[in-house]
Amino acid sequence: MKKLALIVVCLLLSTAAVAQSYPNHAVKVVVPWPPGQATDIAARMLAQKLQDSMGQAFVIDNRAGAGGSIGTEVAAKSPADGYTLLAASSGPISIMPSLQKLPYDPQKDLTLVALITRNPYVLVVNPSFPANNAKEFVALLKANPDKYTFASSGTGATAHLIAELFNSMAQVKARHIPYKGSAPAITDILNGQVDYMVETVASVVAHIRSGRLRALGVSTARRAAALPEVPPLAEAAALPDYDVAAWIGYAVPSGTPRDIVLRLSGEMQKALQAPDLKERLLNAGLDPVAIPLDELPAFMRKEQERYAAVIKSANIKVE
């Protein structure tokens, strides 16, 4: 009995020592998207703060491809020692598991350590569109089912699902036009080739400010920091339960020692409270967010369940 107690004490002391000395060399941050994408931008900003506070390099490793699943798999299958982090996001974590078979299970293979941002979307139309506000927009679409078109960055993309959720809750029918990325979709709505889209605030805020696009409402229950004059669709379209956004965070492979997870979580929460980081995120059109560590598993489950329901309801399939 004494020997067992001694072993337990030694293990506890060993774990504490590991966490206390962590990190003692560079930490890799796998970003499953190309440089300049929102997840990459947010991850780099926080990585710099972690590097400053923890005294080791946090090295960004962009592993883009397959909608973020390639880099996510790399991180999920890395050693669970705290030296490989994942810049996690809605697509490969909350959406793709309901669209296709993946080589990883986000719920089993990854542990979310912190959220960085919750990124609002905004319903936009070309200024020539015959509706001046969200209520007029919904009334027009209801009166003309399948007449109007909406663009997205691709079938099954976050923007597509957030638009489908809006359409379902507003009880309107429109034809989906998928594009290969946000840029060509935005180009076509600017040119009047498609009627509307629900896109990230960060992607279209400049066009809204210049008057080239009209914003009818944001996807979150609270106004977006970058568009304080635009009401939530929950209010503007009389959809009180419509509150949805993409998210960006940091995750580690499951099995990473709890003390290391706690250390990382604490440092990230501290960094996210820094006024300069908040300002940089807001200037990039990204809304900082803080959720306690013990609430993150439930957050992950809820997000995956929500998108799974949208995918089933709209019968969305990826070829």
Q: What is the CATH number of the domain that holds 33?
A: 3.40.190.150
Q: Can you tell me which residue has the tokens 């889209």?
A: 197
Task: Please tell me the predicted confidence (pLDDT) of residue 147.
Answer: 97
Please give the distance of CA 132 from its chain centroid, rounded to a whole number: 29
* Number of domain units in the chain: 2
Do 157 and 231 reside in the same domain of the chain? yes
Query: What's the order of all strands across the beta sheet hosting 214-218?
Result: 175-178, 149-152, 196-200, 121-125, 214-218
Q: Are residues 35 and 74 in the same domain?
A: yes
One domain for residues 155 and 69: no
Pick 189 or 4 by higher pLDDT: 189
58 and 113 in a single domain? The answer is yes
Q: Check pLDDT > 80 for residue 12.
A: no
CA angle, 197 as apex, 168 and 227 as ends, to 5°?
105
Residue 5, domain member (yes or no)? no
Residues 204 and 277 in one domain: no
251 within domain boundaries: yes
Asked whether residue 14 is assigned to any structural domain, the reply reads no
- Of 236, 258, 278, the residue that ends a domain is 236
Res. 188: pLDDT tops 70: yes
Specify the pLDDT at position 6. Answer: 46
What mean pLDDT value characterizes the chain?
A: 92
pTM to 2 decimals? 0.84
pLDDT the model gives residue 17: 54
- Specify the higher pLDDT residue, 197 or 11: 197
Question: What pLDDT was estimated at residue 11?
Answer: 45
% of the chain at pLDDT higher than 90: 83
Percent of the chain with pLDDT over 70: 94
Query: Does any domain span residue 44?
Result: yes
Task: Quote the pLDDT of residue 36.
Answer: 85
Taking residues 23-38, report their average pLDDT: 94
Same domain? For 303 and 288 the reply is: yes
Last residue of a domain, one of 213, 236, 259: 236
Quick count: other Cβ atoms within 10 Å of Cβ 40?
A: 21
Kindly state the average pLDDT of the residues 87-108: 94
Which is it for strands 27-31 and 58-62: parallel, antiparallel or unpaired?
parallel
Do both 109 and 138 map to the same domain? no
State CA 186 to chain mean position distance.
20
- Same domain for 252 and 111: yes
In a domain, 4, yes or no: no
Is the same domain home to 273 and 306? Answer: yes
Confidence of residue 5 (pLDDT cuts 50, 70, 90): very low
Q: Give me the mean pLDDT over the 42-69 stretch.
A: 95
Query: Is 204 inside a domain boundary?
Result: yes
Q: With bands split at pLDDT 50, 70 and 90, how would you rate the model's confidence at 75?
A: very high
Please check whether residues 103 and 128 belong to one and the same domain.
no
pLDDT of residue 217: 98
Confidence class for position 233, pLDDT limits 50, 70, 90: very high
Same domain, 251 and 169: no
Write out pLDDT tens, residues 284-315: 878 899 899 999 999 999 999 999 999 999 99
Is there a contact between 120 and 113 (Cβ–Cβ < 8 Å)? no
* CATH code: domain of residue 162: 3.40.190.10
Q: How confident is the model at residue 38 (pLDDT cuts 50, 70, 90)?
A: confident
Average pLDDT over residues 12-35: 79
The answer to the question of residue 34 being in a domain is yes
- Sort 31 into a burial class: Cβ within 10 Å, 0-12 / 13-18 / 19+: buried
Residues 110 and 148 in one domain: no
Distance CA(196)–CA(219), nearest Å, equals 14
Give a yes or no: residue 15 inside a domain. Answer: no
Domain span at residue 190 reads: 121-236
Last residue of a domain, one of 171, 203, 236: 236
